[in-house]
Amino acid sequence: MYLDKRIENYFYNTGHIIGKGSYGCVYRGVDQNTQTEVAIKIVKKAKFEGDSYSQKALVNEMIILKKLHSKNIVRLLDVCESQSNYYLIQELCQQGDLKKILKQQQLQEQEAIKILYDILSGYQILLKNGIVHRDIKPANILNSNGVFKIGDFGMATQLCQQKMLNSRVGTPLYMSPQVQQNSNYTSKCDIWSIGILYFECLYGATPWFHETSTKLLKKIYEEPLEFPIQPLVSDVSKSFIKSCLEINEKDRIDWIDIYNHNLFRLNPFKKIDRNSQYIITRIRNIIKIRKFNINQLIQNISLPKKLKINDINLLLQSIDKQFTLEDAGLVFDKLNHNNMDTIPFESILLWFSQNDIIQSSVQDNYIPFLTQQDQSRIDNLLDDLIIRIRLNSISIIEICNEYEVSQEQLISLNKFEQILLNIDTQISKADITLLYRKIKQDNQGIVKRESIQKMFYEESELHEPDDDFSVSPVHLPIQGPGLKLQSCNNIERLS
């Protein structure tokens, strides 16, 4: 293969385009150091002029791909930069994408099930981390020697760090009705996309089609789902598709039921690992979707002062029937610090309060009230700081250790300022004070190390061991040809 361009130790041919992602062309290249072939996505900086949304989407893709490592997710190997471009060096999937396959051949049902299985295997990692892809379609499913992988995360977001999603992103043909209408939606939007994709794998076409999104949406609402007579498809596949393509999200199949569906009875999925943070994330989503009043539920439900696992199970089941006795056991173990047969009822109230599930009855009259404008500013500050933390592998725990901040020590505004300046040297005193007020308001007037870690998702996302999940080391860009990110101060333009 003739190679006419180079960025750092990567060579590629500008005439050999192998695909197009959300924000750039993808070329086939070679890593000179290892002599392995790679895919190089080139994104022109000029595309971002005056477009902060696209800038954030690219940073988002880098953050997410840096974090995810699964055989069914396209791996990000490196990121480089020249004066004109960003270069995302990715694992090469030599057999192209699923869109290409569907154009060339009609899949047998067992082949389609295998592809669906690979997609859902990769999606398990997204679920573990609260990530919604939002652009599942054949062109974003890559084939590497028969192993199918989810790629192109430019539209992805992390649900646990967002308010209820309502951005209209993705490809209309595969978008759920909620996404098309800019109405509230959850990770179930990807279940709809998977249902459309699986239908297309089986029948060679999508169940609804129109060139304009408005008329496509009209068809979805007015034309019932129908299955062609040919080819012959099993009832269990049709059942799976029907459950994915329920128009109302509340009627659509849940992720847990997807992974337990009879379609996979001959090759069941490994059970999705759950932890206490999964339970908190799920409760938060239930609150957002159903406008659930957990404060009222706790008042109505009759629970003893000392809780056993069955009592916690009763509480979780009252919130959502999908919770299991195993989930109750996880919560019990999380809160059972003294290794007793029961835990105080107050323990679960405090845990809910610390994780913004219920409002604490304890109020600090000396904390100034945060206005809606203050809260909006806080949300933006947190987004920026979390991006810096992710891109630069900053550890709040390590910063606290460096400043000798113990678990029980109360943190003053001055100490809090020192911690934040390690994340962003340009952050203003006013913004630091605003974030400090927010932490005090959320933690009954007390600022401790744990409350700061919780604000930046440190405990749940950066320091929780996971045998099936590992972070691959990756370098990220700073300005200048062929250089790599070394300091968070160099990503002002992106964040």
Residue 486 counted as domain residue: no
Distance CA 197, CA 138 (A): 7
Distance CA 323, CA 279 (A): 8
Residue 330 counted as domain residue: yes
CATH number at residue 44: 3.30.200.20
Residue 145 counted as domain residue: yes
- Grouping H, G, I as helix, E, B as strand and the rest as coil, residue 123 is helix
Asked if residue 301 and residue 406 are part of one domain, the reply reads no
**Of 350, 339, 312, 379, nearest in space to 451 by CA:** 350
Task: Please name the amino acid found at residue 20.
Answer: K
**Of 149, 14, 15, nearest in space to 76 by CA:** 149
Residue 165 counted as domain residue: yes
* pLDDT tens-digit readout, 115-132: 999 999 999 888 877 788
Distance CA 254, CA 241 (A): 13
Distance CA 442, CA 360 (A): 9
Asked if residue 302 and residue 334 are part of one domain, the reply reads yes
The token pair at 483 is 């250089």
Asked if residue 243 and residue 293 are part of one domain, the reply reads no
Q: Which residues are annotated as a binding site for ATP?
A: 45
What parts of the chain have a pLDDT lower than 50? 160-164, 360-367, 459-495
In the chain, how long is the greatest CA-to-CA distance?
Answer: 74
Residue spans of alpha helices (H) in 392-423 = 396-402, 413-421
The token pair at 416 is 């809090």
**Can you tell me which residue has the tokens 């610390």?**
354
The token pair at 427 is 């952050």
- The alpha carbon of residue 239 and the mean position of all alpha carbons in its chain are separated, in whole angstroms, by 27
Q: What is the pLDDT of residue 103?
A: 92
User: What are the strands, taking DSSP E only, across 3-139?
Assistant: 5-7, 10-20, 25-31, 36-44, 76-81, 85-91, 131-132
Domain that holds residue 419: 372-462
Asked if residue 86 and residue 103 are part of one domain, the reply reads no
Catalytic site includes residue 135: yes
Contact 345, 304 (CB under 8 A): yes
Is 0.75 topped by the overall pTM?
no
Residue 168 counted as domain residue: yes
Q: What is the pLDDT of residue 252?
A: 94
Domain total for the chain? Answer: 4
CATH number at residue 295: 1.10.238
CATH number at residue 245: 1.10.510.10
Residue 197 counted as domain residue: yes
Q: Which helix (H) or strand (E) holds 141?
A: strand 141-144
**Can you tell me which residue has the tokens 């060339």?**
104
Contact 461, 64 (CB under 8 A): no
Asked if residue 170 and residue 128 are part of one domain, the reply reads yes
* pLDDT tens-digit readout, 178-210: 988 888 888 899 999 999 999 999 999 999 998
Asked if residue 108 and residue 9 are part of one domain, the reply reads no
Residue 485 counted as domain residue: no
Asked if residue 301 and residue 202 are part of one domain, the reply reads no
Asked if residue 246 and residue 197 are part of one domain, the reply reads yes
Asked if residue 118 and residue 254 are part of one domain, the reply reads yes
Residue 481 counted as domain residue: no
- Among 39, 67, 92, the domain boundary falls at 92
- The catalytic residue among 31, 135, 190, 384 is 135
The token pair at 255 is 């992720």
Asked if residue 237 and residue 141 are part of one domain, the reply reads yes
Cis peptide before 231 (omega within 30 of 0): yes
Asked if residue 308 and residue 163 are part of one domain, the reply reads no
- Among 264, 293, 313, the domain boundary falls at 264
Asked if residue 172 and residue 72 are part of one domain, the reply reads no
